[in-house]
Structure 1
Amino acid sequence: MSTATSPLRPLVLLHGWGLSAAVWKPLLGHLQPQRAVHLPDLPGHGNAAPAGETLASWADALLPALPDDGVLVGWSLGAQLALELAQRHPEKVARLVLIGASPRFTMCEDWPHGLSGATLDDFRAQFDSAPEATQRRFVALQSLGDRARKQVANTLTDSLTPADSSHHAALANGLRLLAETDLRPRLSRIAQPARLLHGSEDKLMPVTAAEWLAGQLPGGRLSVFGQSGHAPFLSRPADCAGLIEGFADE
């Protein structure tokens, strides 16, 4: 889905933890066919080689997939990578669309908008001993609260990166990044306009995290989808596509 002559800004879609670029398939059918769309797998996910252990090293590994003047559409961990890319390589990023996003996934004394540290620690410990069961649990949490819960869960399940020996270390490191990353101190470095999309019933990242984040980013605007969970682009693909493309070409 690309063209060398399209005047439309290209999109780069960055998926979340444990999945692959296949998760975007329901959204793709609602995007203009003449728009260039880039679908990289995150490091160590899908068919992508692993990268280092830091969010910065993952972002740098994604850099070759970024076209000039592109719009990064990041979901969940992919949203954190989009924010990292925007401040590390601003010349490559024109705009940001952040879905189910938060600058920090775990709660702390000055951040009530996330999962408890104990919950993510439990995920990490379970992943070491029962990775497939952990992925199923994560899928259930991401689809919880969505009006199309079964459909969302099925798409997520079909898009999982296998938790086999070739992917296990990278997936475990991704969970560590979710547990430890805090982008709040660096948000002031981001100059690109941002649009945020969030499900009102998101049980992984509360909408209050997106409300706070929208207030910290240039021209940050938040659209909340009722009866949607952590992946509104799966249950409301046409609505999300319209907002993404409208913002991309402003």
Structure 2
Amino acid sequence: MTLHVETYGQGLPLVMVHGWAMHTGIWRSFARRLAAHYRVYCVDLPGHGLSRHCEQFSLPRICESLAQQLPKQPYVWLGWSLGGMVSVEMARLFPDRVQAIVLLASNPCFVVKTDWPGIKEPVLESFAEQLSLDCQATLLRFLSLQINGLENFKALSKTMKAAVKETDSPEPYILQQGLTMLKNEDLRPAIRDFKMPMAAIFGDRDSLVPVSVGPALQVLNPSITVNVLNKAAHAPFLSHETDLLELITDFVN
């Protein structure tokens, strides 16, 4: 499987892994800002963006594709939302390819448990049901959730919609498999055992990943660095570019 990869800048290699239903275009502007500090590899996941061919969308298959596609060297992995799960799985399956991990608005166990904060399962089930009825409307609803509550909602919404429309939407079966991944995967045991540097960044207005995941992660692995962006939601690379860039560079450097 050939993945679409956009490369920017020079220096320490850093891989950006986007979230569910998205592609590189959603955070290309932020990738170019990161490129002032790093050699940035901005990847379209299998079946997303310009990486169109994909028979099975699962964490192991995604990571195998990334390992085959990217030059054989250790990277800093910046994983947004579902991309955070991919980054954690890369560290589990290909530890020689991972130097450090930055989880951005991500959760190793997205669905709420009795001992873990997350999103309620019926929300994901509703997305899955709506996808089968109207895929485009469901994606637009998901976009709105990612920037919900922000003062510049209309401008951010316009930016996100324009980016998403750069390419065709993923096939419905790919989106369904991605939702199944978010619903069923639990990568907490892997994070508990990690020795590599790891940071987690959250928005205090995120309706998909609660900020309480941060303290829970630190209980799981006390070495994890946690930061919360004030007045940010699920896509801080759009609303808080400069603050986010500073947090990432401070952690990595």
Settle same-fold status: TM greater than 0.5: yes
Unaligned runs of 5+ in 2: 1-6
Among the aligned pairs, what percent are the same residue? 31
Match runs of 1:97-112 below 5 Å: 97-111=102-116
Between the aligned partners of 2:33 and 2:151, the Cα distance in structure 1 is 20
- Of 8, 15, 24, the residue aligned with 1:12 is 15
CA drift of 1:183 comes to 1.1
- Of 1, 20, 25, the residue aligned with 1:22 is 25
Unaligned runs of 5+ in 1: none
1:157 is matched with which residue?
A: 161
CA contact (8 A) 1:87 1:189 kept: no
The count of residues paired between Structure 1 and Structure 2 equals 243
**TM-score scaled to structure 2, two decimals?**
0.88
Higher mean alpha-carbon deviation, 62-71 vs 129-138, is at 62-71
Match runs of 1:128-147 below 5 Å: 128-147=132-151
SS in 2 for 1:13: strand
SS in 2 for 1:30: helix
CA contact (8 A) 2:145 2:208 kept: yes
Code of the aligned partner of 1:109: T
CA drift of 1:186 comes to 2.4
Are residues 151 and 190 of structure 1, via their aligned partners in 2, closer, same or farther at CA, if it must alter by over 3 Å? farther
CA contact (8 A) 1:41 1:47 kept: yes
CA contact (8 A) 1:51 1:57 kept: no
Are residues 192 and 230 of structure 1, via their aligned partners in 2, closer, same or farther at CA, if it must alter by over 3 Å? same
SS in 2 for 1:74: strand
Between the aligned partners of 1:66 and 1:93, the Cα distance in structure 2 is 12
1:85 is matched with which residue?
A: 90
Cα root mean square deviation, aligned: 2.0
Q: Per chain length, whose mean CA-contact separation is higher, i.e. which structure has more relative contact order (CA < 8 Å, sep 6+)?
A: 1
SS in 1 for 2:137: helix
Between the aligned partners of 1:218 and 1:64, the Cα distance in structure 2 is 32
Between the aligned partners of 1:214 and 1:142, the Cα distance in structure 2 is 24
Between the aligned partners of 1:103 and 1:34, the Cα distance in structure 2 is 27
CA drift of 1:65 comes to 4.1
